[in-house]
């Protein structure tokens, strides 16, 4: 993708640092993208970081700062003089400052708030009030607002005047004197209009907007669905208070997908990258689920214990327990994961429950029968004939295969129902994924297995 090779570049940088060739270092860094410079700075040893950071021109420095990891940001702030801190804060957009405030320890936050200008401080406190997953928490308060009566010429003048302080100029928002949102004008519309056109005439009065308390995931999906670059956010009194921009929406989508994936694998989500998460935090995010699921497996133990007689009579039955459990678990998690993703993407609603069950039942019957036939053939040809397992009689094989059909059936049905029920009662469907379904399906499959065995083998 990039024209430079990152390892070669790091070596070159280190060489220049050794030789203290600061001017060349600066010339090397300045043309790069802020996100790339941040990646380089994040890799530097602690004592070199402030040195290299101070080489950057003021505006670029602030852009780089935003992209850095919290640990490095904290380190830098601690080396900043009050003036330097103020310079960086002045360049940041409000939503970036809020992100920073959320990540830093209390002492650093205090310093940040002291040095932010009063208006920014007010905005920060405003945004911090919104719950973590709300639209309000990810919005920025810097946008271009226009009035209905302005001409296109006035509007463009206003953009030119305020443009450097607003996060996006792609959309301008038209408000009335009490800040109610009346419409939007895209920069494209402005450029294609005549200079004396009036904003009220060319604005689009049908605005899709979010409310401060909307779920940030829904907001991100609206941006994606409508192909917008920003979405206005209004408060409970319908006053425009901020906008959510598409870059933040992309981050939200990525974070939410990661969270879903983690929950599906029985991990409590964390928002730190893996390599920057310490061992104890990883342990804490994993052990509750492992313990819970381990204890839940007591039920499968009890089922097996209560069929001990059947197992002593037909020891051959034990050998198929793992296969039956795994197949049930896999069949169930296929259904549950498909449904969970559908729910996340709003492709599925609770009202589709019967449709989903009916679809899964048909898929289950097809899968179950295919697996049973394949398994019967395999048991008779490979296990019995080839490997000479004579205790594997056709009746035993029949018990295994019938169990397979019924287990896959139950697994798919349970797998699709549980996430939808979870959603309905307000739980997170993602928790109802593989590990959870597996534990339930294990118990079901063992019960079916021993019931068929008792019935067909006359134990």
Binding to a second copy, residues 277-316 (CB under 8 A): 279-280, 282-283, 286-287, 289-291, 293-295, 297-298, 300-302, 304-305, 308, 311-312, 315-316
Is 439 among the residues that bind a second copy (CB under 8 A)?
A: yes
Rounded Cα distance between 84 and 73, Å, is 13
What are the two backbone dihedrals, phi and then psi, of residue 117, each rounded to the nearest 5 degrees?
Answer: -70, 155
Is 325 among the residues that bind a second copy (CB under 8 A)?
A: yes
Binding positions for a second copy, 367-426, rule CB under 8 A: 367, 370-371, 374-375, 378, 382-383, 387, 389, 408
For the bound state, the minimum distance from the C-beta of residue 228 to a second copy, rounded and expressed in Å, comes to 8
What are the two backbone dihedrals, phi and then psi, of residue 211, each rounded to the nearest 5 degrees?
Answer: -105, 155
Q: How many CB atoms lie within 10 A of CB 219?
A: 24
Of 241, 382, 224, 309, which is closest to residue 232 (Cα–Cα)? Answer: 241
Is 131 among the residues that bind a second copy (CB under 8 A)?
A: no
Closer residue to a second copy in complex, CB, 19/160: 160
Q: Dihedral through CA 242, CA 247, CA 252, CA 253, nearest 10?
A: 130
Question: How far, rounded to the nearest angstrom, does the alpha carbon of residue 128 sit from its chain's CA centroid?
Answer: 21
Is 275 among the residues that bind a second copy (CB under 8 A)?
A: yes
Rounded Cα distance between 296 and 294, Å, is 5
DSSP 8-state symbol, 381: I
Pairing of strands 181-186, 171-175: antiparallel
Closer residue to a second copy in complex, CB, 19/378: 378
Closer residue to a second copy in complex, CB, 114/298: 298
Closer residue to a second copy in complex, CB, 240/371: 371
- List the x/- string, 185-204, binding to a second copy by CB under 8 A: --xx--xx------------
Which of 49, 185, 243, 331 touches a second copy by CB under 8 A? 331
Closer residue to a second copy in complex, CB, 106/315: 315
Which of 2, 18, 105, 177 touches a second copy by CB under 8 A? 2
Task: Say if CB 133 and CB 220 are below 8 A apart.
Answer: no
Rounded Cα distance between 106 and 116, Å, is 15
Is 174 among the residues that bind a second copy (CB under 8 A)?
A: no
- List the x/- string, 34-63, binding to a second copy by CB under 8 A: xx----------------------------
Binding positions for a second copy, 110-129, rule CB under 8 A: none
Binding positions for a second copy, 229-268, rule CB under 8 A: 229, 246-247, 249-251, 253-254, 257-258, 260-262, 264-267
Options 68-76, 80-88, 107-115, 432-440: segment touching a second copy (CB under 8 A) = 432-440
Is 139 among the residues that bind a second copy (CB under 8 A)?
A: no
Task: Say if CB 60 and CB 88 are below 8 A apart.
Answer: no
Q: Dihedral sign for Cα 31, 33, 36, 38, please.
A: positive
Length of the chain: 459
Options 46-54, 177-185, 334-342, 420-428: segment touching a second copy (CB under 8 A) = 334-342
Which of 128, 366, 385, 386 touches a second copy by CB under 8 A? 366
For the bound state, the minimum distance from the C-beta of residue 431 to a second copy, rounded and expressed in Å, comes to 13
Binding positions for a second copy, 6-35, rule CB under 8 A: 31-35
Options 43-51, 76-84, 126-134, 338-346: segment touching a second copy (CB under 8 A) = 338-346
Options 11-19, 121-129, 225-233, 448-456: segment touching a second copy (CB under 8 A) = 225-233
Of 39, 37, 58, 41, which is closest to residue 49 (Cα–Cα)? Answer: 41
Which of 12, 24, 170, 451 touches a second copy by CB under 8 A? 170
Closer residue to a second copy in complex, CB, 34/80: 34
Rounded Cα distance between 242 and 134, Å, is 13
Residue 399, judged by CB atoms within 10 A of its CB (0-12, 13-18, 19+), counts as buried
The strand ranges marked E within 203-345 are 210-211, 230-234, 240-245
Show the tokens assigned to 458: 């006359």
Is 212 among the residues that bind a second copy (CB under 8 A)?
A: no
Is 227 among the residues that bind a second copy (CB under 8 A)?
A: yes
Closer residue to a second copy in complex, CB, 80/450: 450
Which of 341, 414, 447, 449 touches a second copy by CB under 8 A? 341
- Transcribe 261-284 into DSSP letters: HHHHTT----SS-GGGS-HHHHHH
Q: Dihedral sign for Cα 445, 447, 451, 454, please.
A: positive
148-175: burial string, b at 16+ Cβ within 10 Å, e else: eebbbebbbebbeeeeeebbbbbbbbbb
For residue 181, what is the enclosing H or E element? strand 181-186
Contacts with a second copy by CB under 8 A: the residue count is 124
Options 10-18, 113-121, 123-131, 152-160: segment touching a second copy (CB under 8 A) = 152-160
């Amino acid at each position: 993708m990039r024209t430079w090779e990152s390892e070669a570049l790091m070596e070159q940088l280190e060489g220049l640092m050794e030789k203290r060739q600061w001017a060349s270092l600066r010339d090397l860094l300045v043309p790069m993208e802020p996100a790339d410079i941040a990646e380089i700075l994040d890799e530097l040893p602690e004592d070199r970081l402030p040195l290299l950071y101070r080489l950057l021109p003021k505006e670029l420095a602030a852009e780089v700062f935003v992209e850095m990891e919290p640990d490095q940001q904290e380190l830098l702030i601690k080396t900043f003089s009050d003036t330097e801190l103020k310079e960086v804060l002045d360049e940041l957009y409000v939503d970036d400052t809020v992100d920073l405030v959320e990540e830093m320890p209390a002492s650093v936050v205090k310093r940040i708030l002291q040095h932010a200008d009063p208006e920014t401080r007010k905005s920060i406190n405003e945004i911090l009030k919104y719950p973590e997953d709300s639209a309000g928490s990810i919005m920025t308060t810097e946008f271009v607002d226009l009035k209905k009566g302005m001409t296109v010429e006035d509007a463009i003048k206003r953009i030119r005047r305020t443009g450097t302080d607003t996060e996006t100029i792609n959309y301008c928002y038209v408000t009335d004197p009490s800040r109610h949102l009346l419409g939007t004008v895209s920069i494209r519309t402005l450029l294609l209009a005549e200079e004396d056109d009036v904003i009220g005439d060319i604005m689009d009065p049908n605005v899709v907007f979010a409310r401060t308390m909307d779920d940030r995931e829904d907001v991100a999906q609206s941006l994606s669905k409508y192909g917008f670059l920003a979405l206005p956010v209004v408060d409970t009194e319908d006053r425009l208070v901020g906008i959510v921009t598409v870059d933040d929406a992309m981050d939200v989508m990525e974070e939410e997908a990661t969270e879903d994936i983690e929950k599906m694998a029985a991990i409590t989500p964390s928002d730190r990258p893996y390599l920057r998460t310490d061992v104890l935090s990883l342990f804490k995010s994993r052990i509750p689920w492992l313990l819970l699921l381990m204890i839940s497996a007591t039920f499968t133990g009890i089922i097996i214990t209560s069929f001990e007689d059947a197992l002593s009579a037909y020891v051959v039955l034990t050998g198929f327990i793992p296969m039956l459990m795994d197949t049930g678990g896999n069949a169930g998690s296929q259904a549950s994961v498909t449904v969970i993703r559908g729910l996340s993407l709003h492709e599925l609603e609770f009202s589709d429950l019967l449709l989903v069950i009916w679809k899964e039942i048909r898929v289950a019957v097809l899968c179950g029968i295919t697996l049973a036939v394949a398994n019967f053939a395999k048991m008779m040809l490979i296990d019995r004939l080839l490997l000479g397992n004579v205790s594997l009689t056709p009746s035993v094989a029949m018990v295994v295969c019938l169990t397979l059909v019924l287990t896959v059936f139950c697994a798919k049905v349970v797998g699709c129902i549980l996430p939808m029920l979870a959603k309905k009662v307000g739980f997170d469907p993602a928790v109802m994924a593989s590990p959870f379904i597996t534990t339930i399906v294990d118990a079901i499959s063992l019960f079916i297995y021993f019931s068929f065995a008792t019935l067909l083998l006359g134990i």
